[in-house]
Amino acid sequence: MSDAPTRVIVAMTGASATPYAWRLLERLAGARIGVELMVSENIDALCRVELASSLDAELTRIYRKAPAPGEKLGEAEDGGPLVRRHGLRDFAAAAASGSGREVPMVVVPCSTGTLGRIAGGVSDNLITRAADVCLKERRRLVLVPRETPLSAIHLENMLRLTHAGATILPASPGFYQGGERVEQLVDFVVQRILGQLGLRHLGRYAGWGEDEPS
């Protein structure tokens, strides 16, 4: 586990599927993995629609306080902040440059708009710029779209991103681990995200045919 990351860039964009992001943040906070948080404009609206909650309420639930853009809270295992929230125009953030150490990135949920902009190399905000940096530096980049059905444009963008080194991880839970409750289905996808980030040991379930989570 020595090569497991101690810090992760978590970007949330305006697609349905925010519960996956909150569960991921819970898991990371529980393990004291530091998070560089980037949130696009629609997230508050999505939290209200999907969870009858709000961005600040969810952040407060997980971190005891909701960090404002530019604010950092708590202490992670690596000595950095437990969470640092970035403004979308914070192009001075470390994640906007390839010169720093590798921090893997996940965009969850990933809207088709953000997916298209990353595929097109359009670094118009910190999320798309940080993703662009991951691709050019050959770093781990996991994109979690929810969209269905998919157009040829979506599929071509996904193929392009896969060729460039990203992992497209659709928010499509499997049912073979006995998912009776929504929480279990959410955990299924979050476990796959954690695995792609090199943090499989934080997951809840064993892999198919395995006895223990490892």
Ligand X SMILES: Cc1cc2nc3c(=O)[nH]c(=O)nc-3n(C[C@H](O)[C@H](O)[C@H](O)COP(=O)(O)O)c2cc1C
**Residues at the interface with ligand X (CB under 6 A):** 13-16, 40, 42, 45-46, 49, 111-114, 146-147
Question: What is the chain's length?
Answer: 214
The C-alpha atoms of residue 85 and residue 9 are separated, in whole angstroms, by 10
Comparison of 16 and 184: residue with beta carbon closer to ligand X: 16
The C-alpha atoms of residue 19 and residue 177 are separated, in whole angstroms, by 19
Tokens 């893997």 correspond to 104
CB of 133 to ligand X, least distance (A): 18
Comparison of 6 and 16: residue with beta carbon closer to ligand X: 16
Comparison of 44 and 56: residue with beta carbon closer to ligand X: 44
The C-alpha atoms of residue 23 and residue 122 are separated, in whole angstroms, by 29
* Of the candidates 198, 171, 128, 147, the residue with the CA atom closest to the CA atom of residue 21: 171
CB of 201 to ligand X, least distance (A): 30
CB of 8 to ligand X, least distance (A): 19
CB of 196 to ligand X, least distance (A): 20
Comparison of 15 and 82: residue with beta carbon closer to ligand X: 15
Comparison of 14 and 81: residue with beta carbon closer to ligand X: 14
CB of 173 to ligand X, least distance (A): 15
- CB neighbour list of residue 163: distance below 8 Å, 6 or more residues apart: none
Pairing verdict, β 105-107 and 83-86? unpaired
The C-alpha atoms of residue 119 and residue 72 are separated, in whole angstroms, by 30
Angle subtended at Cα 126 by Cα 159 and Cα 3, rounded to the nearest 5 degrees = 70
CB of 42 to ligand X, least distance (A): 4
* Of the candidates 144, 119, 145, 137, the residue with the CA atom closest to the CA atom of residue 194: 144
The C-alpha atoms of residue 30 and residue 202 are separated, in whole angstroms, by 9
Comparison of 47 and 82: residue with beta carbon closer to ligand X: 47
